[in-house]
Structure 1
Amino acid sequence: MSTMTSLPGGRETAPGEGGRRTRDHARRSNTASPRRRGFGQGLPWLLMVPALVVLLLMTIFPAAYLLWASLHGGTLLGGNGQFVGLQNYVDVLTSVDRLKGFALILVFVVVAVSIQTALGLALAVPLSAQTRSSNIATTIALVPFAVTPVVSALVFRELFNPNYGWVGYFMGLVGLPDDIAWLSSTPLAWVLLIGIDVWQWTPFVALILMAGLKSVPQEPVEAAAIDGASGWQIFRYVKLPMILPFMAIAVVLRTIQAFKTFDSFKVLTNGGPGTSTEIINLEIYRVALQSFRIGAASAIAIVFLILLLTLVPLLLRAVGRGTDEEGV
């Protein structure tokens, strides 16, 4: 016995007719949907076109020009120059002064980032406490990070001036020599340059590590406390392994930033005394903007870039291996 199905509007359909209409509608929808899906999938790429154009103009084109210039001689004032092949690169790799510049920036980065990581961790532990005083202290501690590198260098240059600097004044009050020429001594100049970098960028490392400490779940901390673990044991065996990924991020970011250091060296020592603080960044500046030898400067910059592209992945691998060993 057949039954009829009522539809809106008083119409009736035989059994199965409604199902067939639904399937027909679905087939029509599936037939039209690929176009809509195709447009929807292509829309994000279409919206990215302006950004890609800017990226092309601001990075890829200058990089291509840098590579082209490194294969040519001449100066900015003397036209494009003739093709010299790899001669500029040979000059870079056989120049004692430029190899020394690479070595100096490497030493600076290793020492500065190591100190910043240790001090940043020591600073992040008390500042990560959820108290009003820690919030105020965090704000004060982040002040150096907000100061531009040039301003920091200028301030420190005045503070350590042997004639009227405040550092010499206070040293004289406690019976110490008050006329030390900090920037005329190679060891003292390096201490000052590294000290400025540590002063300015340690808050950056501390900020990242604070985020890591605040993200540590309380359950394992409370369990360790119940088991009788001391505060140091809780930090060493519970919190520290959990914040290693944050420490890795801080080290990698600071390493990349430290390799770009220029302002403090230019303002404070300008490579002196002699050439004892002539890092490769200063050498690129001198060759390009004082001697106007754009080809030679481009070759130095590309060798520097290759050095960075080699060291940063090695650093990432080493940090990742250390994180895996801790079981994070």
Structure 2
Amino acid sequence: MSQSGVIDQEDGALPQSKPARRRLPFSGSYTDNRRLFLFCLGAPAVLYVLVVGVWPLAQGVWYSFFDYNLLKPNRTKFVGLDNYFDIFADRSARQAILNTFQFTIFSVAIQLVLGFGLALLLWRDSRFNRICLAFLLIPATITPLVVGLIYKALLGADYGLIGYFLANAGIGPRTGLMTDGSTALWTLILIDCWEWTPLMALILLAGLKSLPSDVLEAGQADGATSLQRFTMLIVPLMLPSIFLALVLRTMDAFRVFDTVYVTTGGGPNDATNTLMLLAVKQGLQFFNVGYASAIGNVTILFIAIMAGVLIFCVRRADVRINGR
């Protein structure tokens, strides 16, 4: 070995080379690895949505163009838009559409007014209000199926704890509130309000608690009355929360099924028949999958239209009040 550290040729030793570095499978740039990591995280959720949501929806759209009955699968034939035309030509289906819109509009409107009032009452952060809110949310934790069974038992004219005394007092029909065409749908609307008004109040209460206190205090300092602060400050600032509550409850109320199914079954004389109940009857009772799929698609279309109308109205109110 020479002093310079270079191996002499006569020593017979070969120069040592550095071992080749093995390339790892995910040794790209940080950006590429981050994208791959995010893709791996989101892929199961996307796959679940495709399998559980998109694929059945696509099948429903496809079946709606066919005269497809499970009892006669060999006689399936393409009918185009005939199933959709049959919905608006059928008297029972037209009544179901009318009942669904009536149920949705009145129940959501009542829940909005009552929910806003409850949210204002519970706005102050105190122990008493927190206890009241906990008890208030109990109805929203009960499944609609159980709620329907409970009220069917309570409102029965023969043995119901409420219906028996109402019938004997001459309030409402003698056969019960759910057996008369003039009161059955309104009874279901009130039952829905009893169950879901707490949820509406909870959403609006969260919006109230997120309001900037300095704006409200400035309005009070300027001499604005309680009504003026409510109409000119609270309501404009609450528009996003109101929109969220309206959209969530409208989508849920329009596809009501459980409560109606266990209480009236759509009767009497289709007075409480709804679109979802009609679709279930056609699909699972008469096995008319094509017609049931068309009813389901019409329901989705109506929900999208109502959501679009709500977005337009809230956006227009926001522009008119807040100027943005």
TM tier relative to shorter chain: 0.7 to 0.9
- C-alpha offsets along residues 155-204 of structure 1, whole Å, 9 cap, x if unaligned? 1111111012121455489x555955211211211221000110011111
Offset, 1:38: 2.2
Q: What letter is aligned with 1:272?
A: G
Q: Name the CA distance, whole Å, in 2 between partners of 1:51 and 1:190.
A: 39
Which of 213, 223, 231 is the equivalent residue of 2:208? 213
CA distance in 2, matches of 1:107, 1:117: 15
| C-alpha contact 1:74 1:293 (8 A) present in aligned 2 | yes
Q: Quote the RMSD (CA, aligned, Å).
A: 2.1
Take 1:36 and 1:131, find their aligned partners in 2: how far apart are those partners? 50
Residue ranges of structure 1 left out of the alignment (5+ in a row): 1-32
**Is 1:125–1:210's contact at 8 Å kept on the other side of the alignment?**
yes
User: Residue 127 of structure 2: which of 127, 132, 142 is its match?
Assistant: 132
Structure 2 SS opposite 1:275: coil
Structure 1 segment 177-216 matched on structure 2, within 5 A? 177=171, 179-216=174-211
In 2, are the aligned partners of 1:168 and 1:177 still within 8 Å (CA)? no
Q: Give matches, 1:102-113, under 5 Å.
A: 102-113=97-108
Query: Partner letter of residue 285 of structure 2?
Result: Q
Distance 1:224 1:49, change over 3 A: closer
**Aligned counterparts of 1:181 and 1:213: Cα–Cα separation in 2:** 40
8 Å contact 1:265–1:271 — kept in the other structure? yes
Paired with 1:227 and 1:50, the residues of 2 have a C-alpha distance of 55
User: Is it true that 1:71 corresponds to 2:62 in the alignment?
Assistant: no
Provide the rounded CA distance (Å) in 1 between the counterparts of 2:41 and 2:60: 29
3-state SS, counterpart of residue 182 of structure 1: coil
1:8-47 equivalences in 2 (<5 Å): 35-47=29-41
Q: What letter is aligned with 2:121?
A: P
Q: Which runs of 4+ in 1 moved over 3 A?
A: 33-36, 168-173, 175-180
Alignment length, in residue pairs?
295
Aligned to 2:266: 271
Given the alignment of the two structures, is residue 88 of structure 1 paired with residue 83 of structure 2, yes or no? yes
Q: Secondary structure at the match of 1:61?
A: helix
Sort the Cα spacing of 1:225 and 1:74 in 2 relative to 1 into closer, same or farther, 3 A.
Answer: closer
SS class of match (1:112): helix
Say which structure is richer in helix. Answer: 1
For 1:216 and 1:74, the matched residues in 2 are separated by 54
**2:258 pairs with 1:258:** no
TM-score (ref. length: structure 1): 0.84
* Alpha-carbon separation, structure 2, partners of 1:218 and 1:280: 44
Measure the CA separation in 2 of the matches of 1:294 and 1:272. 23
Q: Does 1:56 align with 2:50?
A: yes
Q: Secondary structure at the match of 2:78?
A: coil
The alpha-carbon deviation at position 148 of structure 1 amounts to 0.7
C-alpha distance in structure 2 between counterparts of 1:69 and 1:154, whole Å: 34
1:223 corresponds to: 218
Structure 2 length as normaliser, TM-score?
Answer: 0.85
Contact 1:245/1:323 (<8 A) preserved: no
- Structure 2 portions without partners, runs of 5+: 1-26
Q: How many percent of aligned residue pairs carry the same amino acid?
A: 34
